[in-house]
């Protein structure tokens, strides 16, 4: 059941609602079944996560009320953002789980998903690119920006980017 756990976890991270996550996972599994004959990849996990991810993103985009309507720009890494980090203050002082989870949940979904796929599901950039259907360069820049945002959130006192 490993992959189903991963599918459900990704849904939960993206949708932040257990009921929606359950629905999305079931729906994705249903689609996975229908697409099974067309499956090209030999690795089932990224393949399944891609279906789950699309399901979640569709759901997020169709939600009438969104907490954030921000869309990341996929050009080169925004170094202004990166250089805001003061090396001295960059050391994350308080790493309590609650704060980290809160920070991840504050990320826009497009950033949150690359963090989850990399840090928790431990997919390679190439696999992540397959899941989110974007070039590897986009994965790299989104991941960098997502991490920078998290660091800023976790080092500043209540001040969010």
- Largest Cα separation within the chain, whole Å, is 54
Report the nearest approach of another protein to the CB of residue 64 (Å).
Answer: 23
| Two tokens, residue 115 | 């963090």
* Residue number, 64 or 95, with CB nearest to another protein: 95
Q: Shortest CA distance to 148 belongs to which of 98, 108, 101, 90?
A: 90
Backbone φ and ψ for 94, nearest 5 degrees, come out as -105, 115
Span of 53-61, 66-74, 114-122 interacting with another protein by CB under 8 A: 114-122
Residues in CB range of 96: below 8 A, 6 or more apart: none
Using CB under 8 A, pick the residue from 41, 43, 63, 120 that binds another protein. 120
Residues 31-90 that bind another protein (CB under 8 A): 32-33, 36, 39, 44, 48, 77, 79, 82-83, 85, 87-88, 90
Span of 53-61, 63-71, 142-150 interacting with another protein by CB under 8 A: 142-150
Determine the 3-state secondary structure of 57 from DSSP: helix
Using CB under 8 A, pick the residue from 10, 12, 59, 81 that binds another protein. 12
Span of 19-27, 53-61, 62-70 interacting with another protein by CB under 8 A: 19-27
How many chain residues interact with another protein (CB under 8 A)?
A: 51
Could you tell me the CA-to-CA distances from 98 to 101, 116, 148, 154, 155 in Å, in that order?
A: 5, 16, 18, 11, 14
Check residue 138 for interaction with another protein (CB under 8 A). no
* Residue number, 64 or 154, with CB nearest to another protein: 154
Contact yes or no for 33/117 (Cβ under 8 A): no
| Two tokens, residue 148 | 């920078």
* Residue number, 26 or 106, with CB nearest to another protein: 26
């Amino acid at each position: 059941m490993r992959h189903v756990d991963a599918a459900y976890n990704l849904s939960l991270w993206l949708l932040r609602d257990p009921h929606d996550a359950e629905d999305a996972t079931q729906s994705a599994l249903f689609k996975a079944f229908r697409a099974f004959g067309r499956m090209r990849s030999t690795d089932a996990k990224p393949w399944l996560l891609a279906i789950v991810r699309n399901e979640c993103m569709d759901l997020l985009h169709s939600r009438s009320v969104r907490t954030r309507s921000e869309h990341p720009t996929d050009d080169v890494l925004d170094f202004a953002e990166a250089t805001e980090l003061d090396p001295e203050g960059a050391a994350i002082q308080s790493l309590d789980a609650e704060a980290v989870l809160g920070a991840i949940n504050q990320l826009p979904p497009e950033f949150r998903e690359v963090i989850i796929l990399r840090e928790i599901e431990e997919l390679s950039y190439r696999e992540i690119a397959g899941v989110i259907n974007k070039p590897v360069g986009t994965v790299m820049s989104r991941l960098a920006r997502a991490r920078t945002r998290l660091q800023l959130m976790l080092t500043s006192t209540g001040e969010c980017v």
